Amino acid sequence: MTAVLIVLVVLLAVGVALASASVRIMREYERAVVFRLGRLIHQKGPGLVLLIPGVDRMVRVSLRTVTLNVPPQDVITRDNVPVRVDAVVYFRVIDANNSVLNVENYLKATSQIAQTTLRSVLGKADLDTLLTEREKLNDDLQQIIDEHTEPWGIKVSTVEIKDVGIPQGMQRAMARQAEAERERRAKIINAKGEFQAAAQLAEAADVISRNPATIQLRYLQTLSEIGVNQNSTVVFPLPMNLIGPVSDAVKQFTQESEPAPGELPPGNGARELEALAEPRETEEAETGER
């Protein structure tokens, strides 16, 4: 009786071990590539997968999108600038059988092909293209890597360049170039502003010159704007047509008041000269009588 129980326990244990070895459960995003005696049968899953213990071997493959970080690569651009570039690759398995049969390790293989393609493609571009046309370079990288991984059942959906490391000397040169470009634009904008202001002033001068009273009104408006501050000194310009008649009158009065040559100026000066002349005549008369 004891021997029978031992046999039953052993058979039960063997049955449980065989059941655990022959039953697999595949998730929705997983597929099972089954080999029977080394020969590919077919792809199974998702759900319950039954295997023959000791005869079938299964390889589990995930169909989810994989994010692969490409290590930083030292690249020399077409214009001989050394840069350090890293990228990220998004891909997924679309054919589980090919991902197992055609490549030993599709993750490692995809990483290696991404690194070599990154160096080769970016080495054909100059630094300005690498900085300004990154989307075009991403598309080129995606197409080339996808062509290499297609026989492996891998679909590369996106390749993005994350960072471009530029040497310090080149960064300073680019900063000086950007500063010079900003100064050039500032000078152009300033020149355009002066040109437009001069054009507007010329139009305003044409409008004001049509009516002389407009100039006087503009003078008064300017004085009212200046007079807001109490500590201001105002120099009011007068037109020459107002000062001209006054100047002519002063000159005419000066010419009329000046004496003719040989004439004595009127006033106290003439009387003093006559008084001085009278004693001299008296002395001459006395001398004649003697």
pTM for this model (two decimals): 0.60
pLDDT in tens, 75-120: 988 888 899 999 999 999 999 999 999 999 999 999 999 999 999 9
Q: Which range is least confidently modeled, 32-36, 39-43, 134-138, 185-189?
A: 39-43
Q: How many of the other CB atoms lie within 10 Å of CB of 46?
A: 14
61 neighbors 35 (Cβ within 8 angstroms)? no
Which pLDDT score is estimated for 206?
Answer: 78
pLDDT in tens, 40-60: 988 888 888 888 888 888 999
pLDDT in tens, 223-271: 677 666 666 666 656 666 656 666 777 677 777 665 555 554 555 544 5
Give the residue-averaged pLDDT of 9-22: 74
CA-to-CA distance for 26 and 164, rounded, in angstroms? 41
Residues contacting 78, CB < 8 A, separation 6+:
123, 124, 125, 126
Which pLDDT score is estimated for 273?
Answer: 46
Of 34 and 9, the structure prediction assigns the larger pLDDT to 34
Share of the chain above pLDDT 90, in %: 33
User: What CATH number does the domain located at 66-166 have?
Assistant: 3.30.479.30
Which pLDDT score is estimated for 54?
Answer: 80
- Three-class SS of 192-222: HHHHHHHHHHHHHHHHHHCCHHHHHHHHHHH
pLDDT band at 15 (very low <50, low <70, confident <90, very high): confident
Q: Which two tokens stand for residue 223?
A: 């004085």
CA-to-CA distance for 93 and 88, rounded, in angstroms? 17
